[in-house]
Amino acid sequence: MLTIDVWYGCERSFGRQGIPQDAINILGNVRPARYVAELFYTLDGDFPVKLSLGPDRRRLSRPGDFNVEIVTEGLSEGTHTLRLEAVDVSGGIAISEVIFHYGGERRRSPELEIDWRDVARIDDAAQVIDGLWGLADGCVRTLAPGYDRVIGVGDIAWSDYEVTVPVTIHGFDIKGVNPIGYGYNVGIVLRWQGHADWDGRQPRYGYYPYGALALYEYNFGRDPHHFHLRLYGNNVQPLNEQQCVIRLELGVPYIFKAFVRSCPNETAHYGIKVWQSDQTEPANWALEGRGFIGERTEGAVLLLAHHTDASFGNVKIRPC
């Protein structure tokens, strides 16, 4: 008998604190995965849509993982019903329904504070785009590390802003998974609008265009220094050749601060600095650089943990 586990519950709300990307996501897992023949969803009684099941080494990390990605263009504000139907190899069927509300006040000004202790559900403050996360000890933390576990914060209409968030790294997901991408990393994505459709796969997995990635990286076996801060522009192009070599201790909270600022007739200016939470903020940015042609000129914030077990504390975003 199949079981459909819908993460974050079967009553959901999207858009309470802005619209952070061009789609909403209903995430979960069907088990036992080896007996699943097909998985479909229908939205408001419309035609069934077939879903992909993990693992795919990208957004669907583990056997049986699914991600219902509903593009919001044309999605009316209000309450919707999503029906999931899993068929096992012998023809048995498991059904689950999700009721979700879409819409709310758009946050045109890039000014937002999230205190995770004040929210009962992650939905109340942000949008989980990928992965299984939980609230604990005043933070939001990855419960199952994997490829690009991300949470969207804010609104796709934002342009120039500064983000401050405490980050604690608890470990790296190095067992049994060869990560696609740039090693193991954690940090902030600036000017995010949603995944791109590169080849028709479900869910979409194209990770650019965006503004910039402000990351702490662990490149075991690829880099003589292994640990460093990096700024990547659109299409994962380094914004400068400099690498800020720094090793963050596991279990210790650090403050991550990043900014994006528009420049007239030029690409945007980006920066990142990181310091231990009980220390004084450094006066200078550890890394700064100019973006690349084709970057997003607007977009929300992503909290990103790529094959990393990490927790993010209270988020502060201000115009700059």
For 273-311, what is each residue's pLDDT tens digit?
999 999 999 999 999 999 999 999 999 999 999 999 999
Each residue's pLDDT tens digit, 199-218: 999 999 999 999 999 999 98
pLDDT at 108: 79
Average pLDDT over residues 64-84: 96
pLDDT at 107: 78
Q: How far apart are CA 140 and CA 116, in angstroms?
A: 7
The answer, yes or no, to whether residue 220 has pLDDT greater than 90, is: no
Q: How far apart are CA 180 and CA 57, in angstroms?
A: 7
Q: What is the pTM of this model?
A: 0.96
DSSP 55: -
Residue 131 banded pLDDT, cuts 50, 70, 90: very high
Domain segments of the chain as ranges: 3-102, 112-319
Average pLDDT over residues 151-179: 89
Architecture of the domain delimited by 112-319: Sandwich (2.60)
- The residues, ordered by sequence, that sit 6+ positions from 52 with a Cβ below 8 Å of its Cβ are 60, 66, 67, 201, 202, 203
Each residue's pLDDT tens digit, 173-203: 876 556 666 679 999 999 999 999 999 999 9
Q: 3-102: CATH homologous superfamily?
A: Immunoglobulins (2.60.40.10)
Neighbours of 220 (CB within 10 A): 12
Helices H, strands E: what count in the chain?
A: 0, 25
Please tell me which residue, 34 or 219, carries the higher pLDDT value.
34
DSSP 16: B
Least confident interval from 1-5, 25-29, 38-42, 100-104: 100-104
Each residue's pLDDT tens digit, 9-48: 999 999 989 999 999 999 999 999 999 999 999 999 999 9
Give the three-state DSSP class for 124: helix
CA distances to 3, 13, 45, 59, 283 from 39, in Å: 12, 23, 16, 17, 53
The answer, yes or no, to whether residue 269 has pLDDT greater than 70, is: yes
